[in-house]
């Protein structure tokens, strides 16, 4: 039994933008949207709050962020102090969002859904979106059918509840009610280096996880990728 989950690892290492393509990808996605200051955005599983902070600053809109990992929350709170409390950060699970129906113009999920029950999480995201609302996902996807044992290896390392191919993602979204589902393509240059905010007392076991992660990325190179989907209600 492992001492740390992958999310513990990200939290302890303080990986600031823990999704494929990092902040450059987030910025490029939102360059293609028409965000105005009167809009309300929810960043689910917001980690250290990098994307939420960016959206609030860049567009001057109202941004909420929810997170359920204590270390992520603590580090995000510290970082948000430095950015003048523009983001409303709440401790909550994506499986039970503490917001009224139809509250948000946008929901953003960057590498989050597969850590939760995808169906419950998507149902909640759908519920809290306005009728004209949009969800943007940037999630890991299988680029080809996987043998069961490899799928299990991937799920077990990351702590995923599910692993989907592109069409399976689209089906999940259709099932909860999303109608217009588009793949977003974002030009990205080189692989981005991750910025980190290390915890003071870092357990060496976390370094083993770093090695294991490298191994997983090499092993599944070309077989997994990230999928950016923009879906309207
Ligand atoms: C890979 S990290 C991505 C963090 C952030 N979205 C980013 O791009 O930097 C996944 C995040 O989802 C959060 N998470 C996982 N399950 C969750 C749940 N049920 N409710 C809320 N947050 C969750 C984790 O704590 C973690 O911060």
Q: Which of 17, 45, 91, 136 to mutate to test the pocket of ligand 1 (most atoms within 8 A of CB)?
A: 45
Residue 46 beta carbon below 6 angstroms from any ligand 1 atom: yes
Looking at residue 211, its pLDDT comes to 87
Positive/negative CA dihedral, 146, 18, 75, 53: negative
Domains of the chain: 6-232 (3.40.50.150)
Q: What pLDDT digit, counting tens, does each position of 15-73 carry?
A: 888 898 899 999 999 999 999 999 999 999 999 999 999 999 999 999 999 999 999 99
State phi, psi for 87 to the nearest 5 degrees: -110, 135
- Residue bearing tokens 């994506």: 94
Residue 47 beta carbon below 6 angstroms from any ligand 1 atom: yes
Query: pTM to 2 decimals?
Result: 0.94
Looking at residue 205, its pLDDT comes to 81
Q: What percent of the chain has a predicted confidence (pLDDT) above 90?
A: 77
Distance in Å, CA 111 to ligand 1 centroid = 7
- Residue bearing tokens 């990205």: 188
In terms of Cα–Cα distance, which of 233, 215, 228 is closest to 110? 228
Residue 226 beta carbon below 6 angstroms from any ligand 1 atom: no
Residue 69 beta carbon below 6 angstroms from any ligand 1 atom: yes
State phi, psi for 25 to the nearest 5 degrees: -65, -45
Residue 190 has pLDDT above 60, yes or no: no
pLDDT-derived band at 188, boundaries 50, 70, 90:
confident
pLDDT-derived band at 14, boundaries 50, 70, 90:
confident
Alpha-carbon distances of 47 from 76, 86, 131, 149, rounded to whole Å: 7, 16, 27, 29
Looking at residue 168, its pLDDT comes to 97
Residue 193 has pLDDT above 60, yes or no: no
Average pLDDT over residues 102-126: 98
Residue 45 beta carbon below 6 angstroms from any ligand 1 atom: yes
């Amino acid at each position: 039994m492992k001492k740390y989950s992958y999310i513990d690892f990200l939290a302890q290492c303080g990986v600031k933008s823990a999704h494929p393509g990092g902040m450059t990808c987030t910025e490029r996605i939102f360059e293609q949207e028409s965000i105005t200051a009167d809009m309300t955005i929810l960043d689910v599983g917001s980690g250290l709050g990098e994307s939420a902070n960016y959206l609030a600053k860049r567009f001057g809109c109202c941004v909420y962020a929810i997170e359920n990992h204590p270390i992520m929350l603590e580090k995000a709170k510290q970082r948000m102090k430095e950015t003048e409390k523009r983001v409303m950060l709440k401790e909550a699970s994506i499986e039970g969002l503490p917001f009224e129906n139809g509250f948000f113009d946008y929901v953003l999920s960057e590498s989050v859904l597969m850590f939760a029950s995808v169906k419950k999480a998507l149902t909640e995201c759908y519920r809290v979106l306005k009728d004209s609302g949009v969800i943007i996902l940037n999630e890991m996807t299988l680029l080809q059918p996987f043998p069961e044992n490899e799928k299990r290896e991937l799920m077990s390392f990351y702590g995923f509840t599910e692993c989907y191919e592109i069409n399976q993602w689209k089906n999940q979204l259709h099932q909860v009610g999303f109608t217009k589902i588009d793949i977003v393509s974002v030009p990205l240059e080189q692989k981005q280096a991750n910025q980190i905010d290390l915890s003071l007392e870092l357990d060496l076991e976390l370094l083993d996880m770093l090695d294991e992660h490298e191994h997983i990325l090499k092993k599944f190179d070309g077989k997994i990728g990230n999928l950016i989907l923009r879906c309207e209600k």
